[in-house]
Structures are given as C-alpha cells and as structure tokens.
C-alpha cells in the first residue's frame, strides 16, 4: 500500500522538477553556501597538514608532549562518554517513564549545558572546586584531592559540555515506542533489570550509539572549558585542542595544522558513522 503510493508519486514529482528551474537554482545556492562555509575550508586543513609531505605529522607524533596531550584527550573523552552514557540513559528513562514533581523543569535544565558558554562552564567549576577559594575546593584539597588545574577538573568540564547529547537522542525514541512491550514483559514476570536488558535496551540501542558517537566527538574537541580549568601545563594537563592553539600562536603552523588534522579526522569520522547509522534507525522504527 505504502509502496504503491510512493511509486505513484514519483513520476509526478519528476514531472514537476522538469517544469521548475528554480529547483536547480536553490540546489546551486545550497551547494555553493556549504562549499564556501564548510567543505572548502575543511579540506584546506588536510592540504596544509600535508604541505610538507608527512614531515609535520611525523614531527607531532614523535613529540612526547603532543603524544601525552593526545593520550590525555582520549582518556578524558572515554571517561566522559562512559559517565554521560550511564547518566544519560538513566535520566532518559526517568524523564520518560516516571512521573515526579519538577520533571518538566528538570527536562528543560538538562539541556542547559548545550547553550552555556564553555568559558562560563570553566568559571563555574573553578568557583566551586577551585583549590584556593572555591566552595568545596579547599576541603577537597585538604583531603588530598585536587580538581582544578588537574585531570579531574578536565573530566568534569568535558562531562559538563557533552551532558545532554545522549539524553537528546534517547528521549524521543523512548517516547515513540511507548510502554506496551515493557508492560507485557513485566506482566509475564520479568524483573526490572531483565525488562531493561531484554526490551528497553534493544529498542534504544541505535539512539544510544548515536548519542555516544556525538558525545565522543564533542568530548575530544572541548577547548574553552578545558582551557579555564586545566592550567594548560605542558606534558601534564595540556590537551590536544590546547596544543593546536599553543602551536599556532608559537608560529609552528605545520604542527598546529597536523594536530588539527588529526582532531578533524576523528570528528568527521564520527559524523560519517552517524550518518550511516541514521537511516537504518529510521527504517527500523517506521513500520
């Protein structure tokens, strides 16, 4: 039935396209806009990174400080993604499946980290966890736990900025599938954990993967918040994005472009993976 409708509509659509040259004008405007704003500039980074062949790339890969920064960035991103996935899936289930006072406020507040400036995020964390005069900082420091200007601060900042990404993917899917299957499983005697593992998790699987990939890209690339909380100590708390800035400002443009190329490569790979996953999920959910 649905197939017949698309078959019937297709020749009509093609007929209209032939009659409307404006369609080609719009197509050309969009293509030109995206070429000038995104495609061309991004491709230039690859070109600049390989301006001297593989020299720049090899130089940064052999620089122990850069390698330390890349390692730190990956470690922080992995921790942040794990934390945000657990929190995000749990929070999504709470927001969709349960009723409690203040739910609407919480659901709006959860989105807040996406629209807060990374510099404000850094400042906020310093004001609470700063070792000198933060709210909790001095007490934590007395207990031998330094947050700001150390790795825990970088992790907190990264978790903060990527917080809503998993939730934003999972909530719509949970809302759409409804509770019938879960209730059926429950009535057949499945416990809460079994219902989650056998029913809920498979349905939100792709949304979680999508959210994880987006969170990973966001976490690897965080710059402003990390810059405020990390202290940017060479070989200790300097992350990959801070290396890009540092190298560029110190006139090592080759090194800056090579590091930027590595970061861009990962984020473009993330986006491509997501765009391959995306249509499959829509096919799965549309009956």
Q: Report the site for other proteins in 42-81 (rule: CB under 8 A).
A: 42, 44-45, 48
Judged on CB neighbours under 10 Å (0-12, 13-18, 19+), 186 is: middle
Report how many residues bind other proteins under the rule CB under 8 A: 92
Interface pick for other proteins out of 15, 31, 58, 139 (rule CB under 8 A)? 31
Q: How far is the CB of 267 from other proteins (least distance, A)?
A: 4
Q: Does 163 bind other proteins (CB under 8 A)?
A: yes
For other proteins, the closer of residues 142 and 180 by Cβ is: 180
Q: How far is the CB of 120 from other proteins (least distance, A)?
A: 4
Name residues whose C-beta falls within 8 Å of residue 45's C-beta, 6 or more positions apart in sequence. Answer: 257, 260, 261, 264
**Near other proteins by CB under 8 A, which window of 59-67, 74-82, 139-147, 210-218?**
210-218
Q: How far is the CB of 197 from other proteins (least distance, A)?
A: 14
Q: Indicate the Cα dihedral angle 119, 145, 162, 126, nearest 10°.
A: -20
Interface pick for other proteins out of 57, 66, 69, 214 (rule CB under 8 A)? 214
Q: How many CA atoms lie within 13 A of 4 on its CB side?
A: 1
Q: How far apart are CA 81 and CA 175, in angstroms?
A: 23
Q: 172 to 191, contacts with other proteins by CB under 8 A?
A: 178-180, 183
Name residues whose C-beta falls within 8 Å of residue 203's C-beta, 6 or more positions apart in sequence. Answer: 173, 174, 177, 181
Q: 99 to 158, contacts with other proteins by CB under 8 A?
A: 99-100, 104, 106, 108-129, 134-135, 156
Would you give the distance in Å from CA 234 to the centre of its chain? Answer: 26
For other proteins, the closer of residues 116 and 234 by Cβ is: 116
- Quick check: 261 and 46 in contact, CB under 8 A? yes
Q: 236 to 275, contacts with other proteins by CB under 8 A?
A: 241, 244-245, 248-249, 256-257, 260, 263-264, 267-268, 270-272, 274-275
Residue 19 vs residues 7, 27, 83: alpha-carbon distances, Å: 20, 15, 54
**Near other proteins by CB under 8 A, which window of 59-67, 92-100, 145-153, 199-207?**
92-100
- Quick check: 156 and 230 in contact, CB under 8 A? no
């Amino acid at each position: 039935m649905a197939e017949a409708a698309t078959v019937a509509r297709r020749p009509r659509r093609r007929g209209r396209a032939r009659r409307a040259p404006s369609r080609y004008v719009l197509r050309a405007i969009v293509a030109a806009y995206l070429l000038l704003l995104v495609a061309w500039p991004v491709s230039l980074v690859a070109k600049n990174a390989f301006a001297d062949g593989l020299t720049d790339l090899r130089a940064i890969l052999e620089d122990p400080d850069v390698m330390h920064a890349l390692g730190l960035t990956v470690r922080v991103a992995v921790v942040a993604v794990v934390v945000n996935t657990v929190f995000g899936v749990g929070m999504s289930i709470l927001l969709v499946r349960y009723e409690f006072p203040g739910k609407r406020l919480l659901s709006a507040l959860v989105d807040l980290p996406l629209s807060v400036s990374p510099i404000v995020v850094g400042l906020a964390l310093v004001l609470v966890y700063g070792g000198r005069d933060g709210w909790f900082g001095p007490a934590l420091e007395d207990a031998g736990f330094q947050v700001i200007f150390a790795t825990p601060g970088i992790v907190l900042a990264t978790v903060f900025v990527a917080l809503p990404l998993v939730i934003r993917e999972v909530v719509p899917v949970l809302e759409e599938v409804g509770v019938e299957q879960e209730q059926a499983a429950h009535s057949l005697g499945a416990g809460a954990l079994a219902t989650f593992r056998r029913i809920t998790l498979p349905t939100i699987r792709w949304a979680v993967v999508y959210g994880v990939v987006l969170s990973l890209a966001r976490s690897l690339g965080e710059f402003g918040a990390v810059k405020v909380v990390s202290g940017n100590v060479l070989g200790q708390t300097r992350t990959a994005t801070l290396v890009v800035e540092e190298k560029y400002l110190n006139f090592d443009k080759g090194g800056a472009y090579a590091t930027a190329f590595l970061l861009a490569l990962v984020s473009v790979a993330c986006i491509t993976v997501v765009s391959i996953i995306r249509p499959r999920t829509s096919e799965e959910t549309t009956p």
